Structure 1
Amino acid sequence: MDRLSIIGVVLAIGALIGGSVLKGAGLASLWSPAAFVIVIIGTIAAILLQTPLDTFRRAMKIVRWVFRPPAQDRGAVIRQIVEWSTVARKQGLLALEAQVEAQPDPFLKKGLQMVVDGVEPEAIRQMLEIELQGQGQRDLAAAKVFEGMGIYSPTLGIIGAVLGLIAVMKNLADPTKLGHGIAAAFTATIYGIGAANLMLLPMASKLKGVIHGQTAEREMIIEGLIAIAQGENPRNIETRLNGFVH
């Protein structure tokens, strides 16, 4: 569980509510069904128009990484790879066959299977790097879904404010409605700018960070598996892979 993300969400909500209360606007001023429809529903509509279905599905799947990112323990992976290299040098690559099915990570499982099958090191590198690049591009495209929403929502907030002011102009003859109408108009701006800068853009950045971390870990795995296939000394492998940690 990413505690910083949880703290960030709580502080963001607290900042809006606390600011509204301290400024004397009250909590009621933060709720506007019209603003919600224009900004939130409008932002979802815009991103659906922009995004392919597979990318949107992937975005909805990885959004949980903001609060519960995939476990990354590079030290444990390095120890595992060094252990495999030791076994391979003593007993041969086929001795690692029993380890293949035990791997929960499909990427690591696929790479280790190629090592056991005796695939040439350069061929292993090429195939794994192609898969890594493709997965990285798909995940980054999914993270950009939230970045796109963060770009659209402030503009839709302005549209909501303009529509609210148009409604105010129609009631100029009734001064009692002006103050409330203007306040409601600017609520849409709060929705748009607040959603973008307190939620959507930070979420996109957090997801990109997680994806870059995964990519770096898998690059380390590629180097380790190729070193095993080439029969390198386990100590040399450990020294090389430690560079990915430090």
Structure 2
Amino acid sequence: MDLATLLGLVLGFTLVVLAIITSADLGLFMSLPSLLVVVGGAFSAALIKYRIQSYLVALKEGCLTAFFERNDNPREIIALANRLSRIARRNGLLGLEDEPIDNAFFAKGVQMCVDGSAPEFIQEVLQKEMILTMERKSLAEKVFRSLGDLAPAFGMIGTLIGLIAMLNNLDDPTKLGPGMALALITTFYGSLLAQLIFIPLADKLEMKSDELRNNMSLIVDSVMGIYNGMNPQVLDELLETYLPEYQRGAMNMTEEIE
């Protein structure tokens, strides 16, 4: 589980609730009609923007990615590529057949090498899978970003509804204050949901997509380097370009395969 996502949400809502209860009654901020306008309106408008199947898949994919999915450490991918390249140079590509590879994308590429597929075909298949995977990830990010844009808008719509109802009671001054407070609650809900849930989740999905794209490109280069029998040290130099400067040259990947 991605503890940063969960911790951020819990901490954010806790601080907001504490701020409310230290200055006012928490019950004043509870309004089911306002919540229905904001949440129902935002999710309904987003549903109009996307196909229903894509919409539902994107919501599921987005939640799973934001809360549970963890991308592999690129240094571990490079270390694995180094080990596999040494085995391949010593025993041939068939020597990789029984090697344990946890990353499914990497395992697919290595298996295609073992099966004797042409290098052009291997690269084409891996790159196509990478493109389609990133499209699915980007759709989830777009849906959550759309919700982040829509929630404040529907918060304003709810406020307008409340103001209309309040202005209808101008003959009773005692109802103006509570009516104004109730009208503003929807704006509060829209801003809170957008800034604490939808937009941060969209940014988290974008960040993880960038990490995944970097890892998949790294794996494609690793597989092609292994297939072509590249020297492990040369392969390391190639793959370390995917790492930030301060991490390069700090990897101990020169162990001999027993």
Q: TM-score, normalised by structure 1?
A: 0.92
Aligned partners of 1:44, 1:14: CA distance in 2, in Å?
A: 24
Report the residue type matching 2:47 in the other structure.
L
Aligned partners of 1:12, 1:199: CA distance in 2, in Å?
A: 9
Q: Offset at 1:139? A: 0.8
Indicate how the Cα distance of structure 1 residues 217 and 150 shifts in structure 2: closer, same or farther if over 3 A, else same: same
Matching residue of 1:61: 61
Q: Which structure carries more helix by proportion?
A: 1
| Superposed CA RMSD | 1.7
Q: Offset at 1:51? A: 1.9
User: SS state of the match for residue 98, structure 1?
Assistant: coil
User: SS state of the match for residue 117, structure 2?
Assistant: coil
Q: Offset at 1:194? A: 1.1
Pair 1:123-2:132 in alignment? no
| Structure 1: runs of 5 or more not aligned | none
Matching residue of 2:255: none
Aligned partners of 2:50, 2:79: CA distance in 1, in Å?
A: 41
Aligned partners of 1:97, 1:58: CA distance in 2, in Å?
A: 35
Q: Residue 196 of structure 1 is aligned with which of 185, 194, 197?
A: 194
Aligned partners of 2:73, 2:200: CA distance in 1, in Å?
A: 24
Contact 2:58 2:143 in 1 (8 A): no
Pair 1:157-2:155 in alignment? yes
Q: Offset at 1:87? A: 1.1
User: SS state of the match for residue 152, structure 2?
Assistant: helix
| Structure 2: runs of 5 or more not aligned | 245-258
Aligned partners of 1:157, 1:229: CA distance in 2, in Å?
A: 56
User: SS state of the match for residue 201, structure 1?
Assistant: helix
Matching residue of 1:32: 31
Report the residue type matching 2:53 in the other structure.
D
Matching residue of 2:254: none
Contact 1:118 1:229 in 2 (8 A): no
Alignment of 1:1-246 (within 5 A): 1-22=1-22, 24-56=23-55, 57-99=57-99, 102-246=100-244
Report the residue type matching 1:143 in the other structure.
E
User: SS state of the match for residue 173, structure 1?
Assistant: coil
Aligned partners of 1:140, 1:3: CA distance in 2, in Å?
A: 22
Per-residue CA shift, 1:91-147, capped at 9, x if unaligned? 111111223xx4443322221111112223233222211110111011111111110
Per-residue CA shift, 1:70-92, capped at 9, x if unaligned? 24222222121111111111111
Contact 2:61 2:137 in 1 (8 A): no
Aligned partners of 1:2, 1:114: CA distance in 2, in Å?
A: 32
Matching residue of 2:253: none
Contact 1:2 1:68 in 2 (8 A): yes
199-208 or 25-34, which deviates more: 25-34
